[in-house]
A and B are shown apart, each in its own frame.
Chain A
Amino acid sequence: MTHRIMVCLLLLTLSACQSKENVLSEELSTSGLPYTFTNMPGNSRISIFIAWPTNWYFDANNNPAVPHIGTRLLLAGGASNYPAGQVTERFSDMNSEGDLWTSADYIYGALHFSPKHLDETLKIANAHLRSPLFDQKWLERIRSQSAEQMNEHRKRAEVQGFEASRWAIFGNQSIRAGLSVREDNVIQAVTKADIANWAKSIFKRKGVFISIAGDLSSADASQAVDALFDGLPEGEAAAAGTAQLDMSPNKLLFHAPESATSTLTFIGKLPPSKDGSEFDDLLLIDALNGSIEDGIFGAVRTELRASYRYGASTEEYTTENRFLIMSGQIETSKIADAEKTIRKSYAEFRANPSIEELPKRKKKYEIEFKEDLKDTGSVAYDAMISKIRGMNPARALNLQAELDAVTVQSLEQRVKSAFPQSEEFIVVLSSADESALPDACVIKVAKDALDC
């Protein structure tokens, strides 16, 4: 008898333990929408991430300013039965959050809320997707602010340096305009009809990626997804846009006589994220950056004494096109030396990364994973992005396994197979000194990079 009681207690304990674990599944809602669902027992929040495919920037007939203004107007300008200004108060009452943002290939949406406010939060969000007001006065307000903000941003020399690099890489393809700082006349040309057409092409059911995470049942998750997408048209799938890149290793110098600082940037190509090796790349970038006495940071700050901050990162311009970027402000009189020092430091790293203490280097990611697994937003987002990349979304619950698979050998192979050679970088300098970078093509207008 005692034995049976002990067995029952053990089973109950085990089942209680198991019920605390996150469980991910791929589901189909009652109305037929595929989505990823992660049940996160005991969590006080629910998060939903959505990615609507778009090829808007790839079409030369489209105004590239529309998506950004459209998302701002949709969020702020009210919807049917929800005048502008009232929803923000109701969302604050409920401690709900919502956002929309743009990228080259997707329009992303996110909602975070407590389970007891699920119905009302989704009703409001649905209304804004299905019947936004797109009020003319609000459009003029957002449009004029966007134009003035872009104007201020564009005047910065380092921004013009990046603009020049995009002219060099993408040329006259319309994606370049989509990724760049909008011109004033382009922004001011956005009309209510443009926004309405754009919204109609985006907010639909076909081809969308949906990920929901929280402490809710499978049935409730299905209802939530259907409530959010209620009344949205089926629509047509958007074919992914493509771009041709010119990565010729030019040296560009954007001459900005008024600029008090100089910014030196190296841009090289990396394979897209969907090819995998995410943690090899992150660990390689960490090692490339180095610290006070090694890496490119140590080379530029401690050895050359030319910069306060210089570092490497990755940037995904489109889903297919990811770049390795090394950038920072450099003392103008040391630019020529800095270019040589950075190239040399990078070349040495690529030839022999010599990554020591790998288990210690992995620690910060392990800590992040543990925290992320408690956060509905992180889990929902990771699952969605994995699906978009053609990977198993369940990896979102076990990124540790991918990190464990990284070895010194895999890093050495990765840096040689995926990272550009040091002579393959496009180099861009923005500076008041037009002779600061030897052998550079000097331009005064970003578009003139086409002629370099």
Chain B
Amino acid sequence: MKLYKVILALVVVVASLIGYKFYSKSTPRYFAQIHIGEPETPTQVQAFIIFDRAPELDSPAGLAHYTEHLVALSALTDDFKAVDRHANAYTSATTVGYWVKGPKKDLPLMIENLGGVFDPISIDIKFANEEADIVLREYDLRSGDNIDYLAYKAMTPFLYEGNGTGNWLSSTPQSIASLDYEQAVAYYNATHQQSSAVLLVLGDVSITNVQKALKASSIKPLTDTPAEIQPNSFGLVKPGIKNFTFKISSAEPRIIFRKVVSLDKPVSYDLLQFQTSQLRAVLDTNLPAGIAAPLRYDNFIARSFELSVLPLDEQNIEIWFIASPDNGISFKQLQSVFEDALKVAGNGVPASTYERVQARSKQYWVDWEDEDATTEWMSDYARSRVTNLRRPLPEKELKNISEQVSLSDINALLKALQKPGRLSVAYIGIDKGDDQ
């Protein structure tokens, strides 16, 4: 009796292995890459189709964004109208993407509808040309009266000179007004190829579920070799400084300080993301090597400030600092105290500060002990990676990342920030320093 059961179990296992191998070999490819990530909520699924924005083709400025509008209107109208599904599209510095979110059971329907992005744009040409006006309304909404946005627009092309990501906010009312249907079709044909598309599904689904949905859809398997998907790399051109002044009398006085530097050696992207998050957490403290003490508590230099440090790729990082000067403090004084504080930190973060910040990782990374928080974080993480054409790491590998970072890594980043790089400062409002 027992032997019979053992033999039966072995037969099942072997059959599964053969079946799996057969299935894998014969599984058709539909996309250059397929990724599956955690869901935002257990009963919902969100599916994305993502393309490289191809910045060199995004001209006149705003063309990629305008095309995205037309493709979404052409492919996703049913999902826009559905009361229990939500759909949208986006254009970022690196990619153009389309997504639908809805009940898990509707995955096949969502995949079918999303596949519409591979079909030629099929909306009325007059309506399509009018959509440029809608894009202009969107431009007004995002930029109108938003001084920080205007500063960002001015600074980015200089900081990212020589890189495609530098041009994604270059659209102007004039460039948008010049856009039309024919240009959009040309851009679409050059960029929205299935062989270079990435599918991301965030949901409690398996690769088998997704393959089944693809097989049942009108999306055809690829006949061409899928493209090699590479994230954008960043090349820092020669060091330089360019500042901008927005002397608007009604604006709250503030500075926006942005600096891009290169590291001596590349660091894997996820590791660098953790390192820069931890560095930011160290700097944004009232502890030794933190900037809050010299700026806000020991002295009244900055009434408020925000800080972030982020990787641009494996070997380049950017620091952002936005601050409003205290009464009687000039922009230059504020900038000088900040730069001095960074220099002091660059001499080495004390172990006591580092250990204290290390213990706070739940605040700047993820609380691995909280299952729900982890699921939500992994969902955001997958979305953030894939929409930047990067492969997300599995949870097991991410859990080890914090153990791979030490104080010397943080100090190395601080040293790098002292090197010459691309620096741009925007001075907004009236400089009311006592020395003016």
Residue of A with least CB distance to B134? A308
Asked whether, in the complex, the Cβ of A95 is within 8 Å of the Cβ of B363, the reply is: yes
CB of A244 closer than 8 Å to a CB of B: no
Contacts A95-B363, A260-B140, A367-B43 given; does A305 touch B250 at CB 8 Å: no
Asked whether, in the complex, the Cβ of A367 is within 8 Å of the Cβ of B84, the reply is: no
Taking a contact as CB atoms closer than 8 A, the residue among A88, A294, A301 that contacts B81 in the complex is A294
In the complex, what's the smallest C-beta–C-beta distance from A65 to chain B, in angstroms? Answer: 16
Interface Cβ pair total, 8 Å cutoff: 106
Q: Mark B137-153, 1 if CB is under 8 A from A, else 0.
A: 11011001101000000
Q: Mark B28-53, 1 if CB is under 8 A from A, else 0.
A: 00000000000001011000000000
Residue of B with least CB distance to A83? B297
**Residues of chain B from 229 to 277 with CB closer than 8 A to chain A in the complex:** 250-253
CB-CB under 8 A from B359, the residues of chain A are 93
CB-CB under 8 A from B287, the residues of chain A are 89
CB of B381 closer than 8 Å to a CB of A: no
Residue of B with least CB distance to A293? B81
In the complex, what's the smallest C-beta–C-beta distance from B66 to chain A, in angstroms? Answer: 13
Contacts A88-B286, A292-B77 given; does A149 touch B252 at CB 8 Å: yes
Contacts A93-B359, A261-B144 given; does A152 touch B137 at CB 8 Å: no
Taking a contact as CB atoms closer than 8 A, the residue among B250, B296, B304, B356 that contacts A152 in the complex is B250
Asked whether, in the complex, the Cβ of A371 is within 8 Å of the Cβ of B41, the reply is: yes
Residue of A with least CB distance to B143? A260
CB-CB under 8 A from B81, the residues of chain A are 291-294
CB of B399 closer than 8 Å to a CB of A: no
Stretch in A137-145, A232-240, A406-414 touching the partner: A137-145
CB-CB under 8 A from A294, the residues of chain B are 81
Q: Mark B293-320, 1 if CB is under 8 A from A, else 0.
A: 1001100100110000000000000000
Asked whether, in the complex, the Cβ of A329 is within 8 Å of the Cβ of B145, the reply is: no
Contacts A92-B363, A95-B363, A149-B252 given; does A85 touch B84 at CB 8 Å: no
**Residues of chain A from 416 to 452 with CB closer than 8 A to chain B in the complex:** none
In the complex, what's the smallest C-beta–C-beta distance from A112 to chain B, in angstroms? Answer: 12
Q: Mark B360-375, 1 if CB is under 8 A from A, else 0.
A: 1011000001101000
In the complex, what's the smallest C-beta–C-beta distance from A90 to chain B, in angstroms? Answer: 10
Taking a contact as CB atoms closer than 8 A, the residue among A85, A137, A148, A156 that contacts B293 in the complex is A85
Residue of B with least CB distance to A356? B83
CB of A116 closer than 8 Å to a CB of B: no
**Residues of chain B from 130 to 188 with CB closer than 8 A to chain A in the complex:** 130, 133-135, 137-138, 140-141, 144-145, 147
CB-CB under 8 A from A38, the residues of chain B are none
CB of B292 closer than 8 Å to a CB of A: yes
Q: How far is the CA of A201 from the CA of B130 in the complex (A)?
A: 57
Chain B interface size, as a band, is: 35 or more
CB-CB under 8 A from A293, the residues of chain B are 77, 80-81
Residue of B with least CB distance to A374? B372
Taking a contact as CB atoms closer than 8 A, the residue among B137, B141, B145, B297 that contacts A84 in the complex is B297
Taking a contact as CB atoms closer than 8 A, the residue among B133, B304, B356, B370 that contacts A93 in the complex is B356
Asked whether, in the complex, the Cβ of B252 is within 8 Å of the Cβ of A141, the reply is: no
Asked whether, in the complex, the Cβ of B134 is within 8 Å of the Cβ of A305, the reply is: yes
In the complex, what's the smallest C-beta–C-beta distance from A217 to chain B, in angstroms? Answer: 22
Stretch in A166-174, A313-321, A357-365 touching the partner: A357-365
CB-CB under 8 A from B250, the residues of chain A are 151-152, 154-155
CB of B327 closer than 8 Å to a CB of A: yes
Q: How far is the CA of A356 from the CA of B83 in the complex (A)?
A: 9
Taking a contact as CB atoms closer than 8 A, the residue among B138, B145, B327 that contacts A144 in the complex is B327
Q: How far is the CA of A194 from the CA of B47 in the complex (A)?
A: 55
**Residues of chain A from 326 to 361 with CB closer than 8 A to chain B in the complex:** 329, 331, 356-357, 360-361
Q: How far is the CA of A367 from the CA of B46 in the complex (A)?
A: 15
Q: How far is the CA of A394 from the CA of B435 in the complex (A)?
A: 60
Asked whether, in the complex, the Cβ of B140 is within 8 Å of the Cβ of A357, the reply is: no
Taking a contact as CB atoms closer than 8 A, the residue among B41, B77, B83 that contacts A361 in the complex is B83
Asked whether, in the complex, the Cβ of B285 is within 8 Å of the Cβ of A148, the reply is: no
Asked whether, in the complex, the Cβ of A291 is within 8 Å of the Cβ of B84, the reply is: no
Taking a contact as CB atoms closer than 8 A, the residue among B130, B133, B141, B252 that contacts A151 in the complex is B252
CB-CB under 8 A from B370, the residues of chain A are 44
Asked whether, in the complex, the Cβ of A145 is within 8 Å of the Cβ of B303, the reply is: yes
CB of A376 closer than 8 Å to a CB of B: no
In the complex, what's the smallest C-beta–C-beta distance from B377 to chain A, in angstroms? Answer: 15
Taking a contact as CB atoms closer than 8 A, the residue among A85, A93, A156, A356 that contacts B292 in the complex is A85
Q: Mark B72-84, 1 if CB is under 8 A from A, else 0.
A: 0100010011111
Q: Mark B412-436, 1 if CB is under 8 A from A, else 0.
A: 0000000000000000010000000
CB of B324 closer than 8 Å to a CB of A: yes
A85-B292, A95-B360, A360-B84 given. 6 additional CB < 8 A pairs? A89-B356, A92-B360, A142-B303, A151-B250, A260-B144, A306-B137
Q: Could you tell me which A residues sit within 8 Å of B by CB distance?
A: 44, 84-86, 88-89, 92-93, 95, 137, 140-142, 144-145, 148-149, 151-152, 154-157, 260-261, 291-294, 301, 305-309, 329, 331, 356-357, 360-361, 363-364, 367, 370-371, 374
What are 10 A-B residue pairs whose CB atoms fall within 8 Å in the complex?
Answer: A85-B292, A92-B363, A145-B304, A291-B80, A301-B134, A306-B137, A308-B137, A329-B137, A364-B84, A367-B43
- Chain A to chain B: the 7 pairs with minimum beta-carbon distance, closest first: A85-B297, A360-B84, A308-B137, A292-B80, A148-B252, A308-B138, A155-B250
Q: Could you tell me which B residues sit within 8 Å of A by CB distance?
A: 41, 43-44, 73, 77, 80-84, 103, 130, 133-135, 137-138, 140-141, 144-145, 147, 250-253, 285-287, 292-293, 296-297, 300, 303-304, 324, 326-327, 356, 359-360, 362-363, 369-370, 372, 429
